[in-house]
Copies of this chain bind each other. A is one copy, B any other.
Amino acid sequence: MTRFALTVEFDGRPFMGWQRQPHGASVQGAIEDALHSVTGEAATVHAAGRTDAGVHGLAMRAHVDVAKAITPFRLMEALNARLRPAPVAVLACEEVADDWHARFSCLGRAYEYRIVNRRAPLTFERGLAWQVPQPLDTGAMAEAAQVLVGRHDFTTFRSVHCQSASPVKTLARLDVRRVGDRVMVEAAARSFLHHQVRSMVGCLVLVGLARWSVERLREALVAADRAELGLNAPPDGLFFVAADY
């Protein structure tokens, strides 16, 4: 058996999420099916993180064990040939040690959330960004983001379906920056709760719209109560961008 680490880019629009589902297309399922077609083996692909329906990946990391003798380059090429026409591409493939695990060895994860702040509807980025028509005060959003950075009980920003053992996480970075009418929120942490990034972004947008004060956001965090969540951002704008090992 050889363990291969994959770097995967995927457009989440046609998928029910990363994780294989009994009904409906998934990114994991697409890769596992391609792998079966290449190797004849029924292997499980393990990822650094699971993404929800409609969430995208720029560089998801994953691993798989393969019995067939094949070089990383040939495996990458063969997977990409079989993945068509699904919008999933293996950007890199390398041999790793048997104890390297895409999920358990991962020391940090980074997401980017893309907002298009304009009145005009989206064209190229439909399903790839959250269109917010009202002007956003990104200075206020950036200030509010700092309230969330650090070690906190993030229950307010956690899906009821979250399977994490603890709601306490350490948010390493939450940056808000504007380039023209694009507003990008970049989040980094060792790990995140289910829906945490979307929930944080939703509340930052409330601050950007002046519907919430920075103080109101702090109260919502301290409450550690899902009922205090102001707004959950749609999946469209969320991209898994990096996993560190």
Tell me the A residues contacting B by CB distance below 8 Å: 9-11, 56, 76-77, 80, 83-84, 87-91, 118-124, 126, 128
CA distance A63 to B86 in the complex (A): 40
Write the chain B residue with the least CB distance to A73. B119
Of chain B, the residue at the smallest CB distance from A122 is B89
Q: In the bound complex, how far is the Cα of B209 from the Cα of A162, in angstroms?
A: 50
Compute how far the CA of A76 lies from the CA of B121 in the bound complex, rounded to whole angstroms: 11
Residue of B nearest to A13 (CB): B124
Asked if B121 and A84 make an inter-chain contact with CB atoms under 8 angstroms apart, the answer reads yes
Complex Cα–Cα for A123 and B9 (A): 7
Residue among A10, A56, A91, A120 with max Cβ neighbours from chain B (10 Å): A120
Is A87 touching B126 in the complex (CB atoms < 8 A)? yes
Given A11-B124, A123-B11, A124-B128: A91 touches B77 (CB 8 Å cut-off)? no
Cβ–Cβ < 8 Å partners of A9 in chain B? 120, 123-124
Closest residue on chain B to residue A126 by CB atoms: B87
Contact of A118 among B10, B91, B119, B123 (CB under 8 A): B91
Contacts of A88 in B (CB 8 A): 123
Residue in chain B with minimal CB distance to A118: B91
Contacts known (A91-B118, A118-B91); A124 close to B56, Cβ less than 8 A:
yes
Return the contact of A120 from the options B91, B119, B122, B128 (Cβ within 8 A): B91
Instruction: Report the separation of the CA atoms of residues A111 and B80 in the bound assembly, to the nearest whole angstrom.
Output: 31
Nearest CB in chain B to that of A131: its residue: B89
**Please, which residues of chain B bring their CB within 8 A of the CB of A120?**
9, 76, 80, 89-91
Give the distance in Å from the alpha carbon of A189 to the alpha carbon of B118 in the complex: 29
Q: Which 8 pairs show the lowest CB-CB distances between chains A and B? A: A89-B120, A87-B123, A11-B123, A11-B124, A91-B120, A89-B121, A89-B123, A9-B123
Provide the bound-state CA to CA distance between A80 and B133, in Å. Answer: 13
Contacts of A83 in B (CB 8 A): 121
